[in-house]
Amino acid sequence: MRFLTAGESHGQKLVGIIEGLPSGMKISKDSIDEALRQRQRGPGRGGRMAIEQDEVHLISGVRGGLSTGAPVALEILNRDWENWAGIMAWGDDADLESRKVMTPRPGHADLTGALKYRTEVRNILERASARETAMRVAIGSIVRQGLSALGVEIRGQVRAVGGVHAVCTDEEDYWQRVKLSEWSVGDPIAEQKMGEQLILARAQGESLGGLLEVQVLNVPAGLGSHVQWDRKLDGKLAQAVLSVQAMKGVSFGLGFEAGERMGSLVHDPILYRQGQGFSRGSNHAGGIEGGMSNGEPIVLQAVMKPIPTLYQPLDTVHLETKEVVKASVERSDVCAVPAALVVLEHVVAWVIAEAVLEKFPADSFIELQTAWEAYRAYLKL
């Protein structure tokens, strides 16, 4: 299974193609659109979100609400295109001067991309923009629906924003508060402080990053593999998470804290119960051992840096004059941490679905369900 995306931030549309999806899997357009709306929400978002009202258009590979086994093609129109049609036109009549960027932003792909591809900065930032993640959410939503039909649940929370850390628990009422929170936080005190930090950052022309957590529940032992470096499940998840714009680090379970503890306080005791199979007495490993899921919830955390566009911009160098000037300002968010959490949940969904189909190759969803249920029964012996 694989996918490709294309499209620019201010181009006509974002497009995507999924290949290798089993036939007969239920696909709800409403569920995809809801995921896209969630990505657009959250405090700290910029003016672009007031323009775009993302909706997916399923072009091929789905009929009667079910996947057909053929490649699935989908698109998301950019409503802001009408304001950029002349600038982003494909022909030789395109306006290449009025929005030309000569002052690259520190922390963005602007300068490095322009040097690498020997092109104008506008051509880099349009594709490097996090607008691209809208299509990855749509694609992730499709496979997430399939995972849900297998009983796999994916959930996430924001653990910190701008130095404000939430007190997190694993109780059901806590996760209900996370679902209701605009910050995706279950700690009301931390949520209030995050709001105050956002007001301060906006007033100072600053931006905020944070710490995010994604959990995958009801995954059986044995997804991924230890036999080659590129088949390890945690390696694939880490690559997918770090491919999301502004992500600068990823860890599993205890994460970096594992390096501060004795081994007996890091590794998870193995238990066995008749009729339920093997389990762990704790989950410090975050559900992955030796590159494979071990049957416990997969728990990963990611660090998001503050968005590079600052309304009080840093120094940069003018590309022609080489003079020190202030960086350009593109319309941007002050904080997109809750929105990034939605993106992470869906890129994680893709990797898990890919691992499921690697272990249970199937041309139809009913074949996949049959193999899945038989394997789950085996694990309980």
DSSP 85-139: TTTS-SSTT---STT---SPPTTSSHHHHHHHHTS-HHHHHHHHSGGGHHHHHHH
Question: How many Cβ atoms from other residues are within 10 Å of residue 315's Cβ?
Answer: 10
pLDDT of residue 308: 87
Q: Per-residue confidence of the chain (381 residues) as pLDDT tens digits?
A: 999 999 999 999 999 999 999 999 999 999 999 999 999 998 987 655 556 689 999 999 999 999 999 999 999 999 999 999 999 999 999 999 999 999 999 999 999 999 999 999 999 999 999 999 999 999 999 999 999 999 999 999 999 999 999 999 999 999 999 999 999 999 999 999 999 999 999 999 999 999 999 999 999 999 999 999 999 999 999 999 999 999 999 999 999 999 999 999 999 999 999 999 999 999 999 999 999 999 999 999 999 999 988 888 999 999 999 999 999 887 678 999 999 999 999 999 999 999 999 999 999 999 999 999 999 999 998
Phi-psi region of 322 (alpha: psi -120 to 50; beta: other; left: phi over 0): left
Whole-number Å distance between alpha carbons of 329 and 105:
8
DSSP codes of every residue in 295-328: SSPEEEEEEEPPPS--SSPPEEE-TTT--EEEPP
Domain edges within the chain? 2-379
- Is the separation of the CB atoms in 131 and 76 below 8 Å? no
Whole-number Å distance between alpha carbons of 321 and 209:
33
DSSP designation for 219 = P
Whole-number Å distance between alpha carbons of 332 and 350:
27
Pick the CATH number of 2-379 from 2.60.40.10, 3.60.150.10, 3.40.47.10, 1.20.1260.10: 3.60.150.10
Alpha-carbon torsion (290, 293, 296, 301), positive or negative: positive
Angle at Cα 76 formed by Cα 73 and Cα 79, nearest 5°?
155
**Cβ contacts of residue 72 below 8 Å, gap of 6+?**
17, 18, 21, 27, 58, 60, 61, 62, 142
pLDDT of residue 116: 98
Task: Kindly report the pTM of this predicted structure.
Answer: 0.95
**Cβ contacts of residue 14 below 8 Å, gap of 6+?**
5, 6, 7, 75, 76, 78, 131, 132, 134, 135
Whole-number Å distance between alpha carbons of 88 and 79:
13
DSSP H or E segment with residue 190:
helix 188-203
- Is the separation of the CB atoms in 316 and 326 below 8 Å? yes
- The two structure tokens encoding residue 330: 């593109």
Pick the closest to residue 9 from 139, 142, 121 (CA basis): 121
- Is the separation of the CB atoms in 172 and 199 below 8 Å? no
Work out the burial of residue 275: count CB atoms within 10 Å of its CB; fewer than 13 is exposed, 13-18 middle, 19 or more buried.
Answer: exposed
Alpha-carbon torsion (194, 195, 200, 203), positive or negative: positive
Describe the chain by its helix, strand, coil percentages, rounded to 5.
Answer: 35, 20, 40
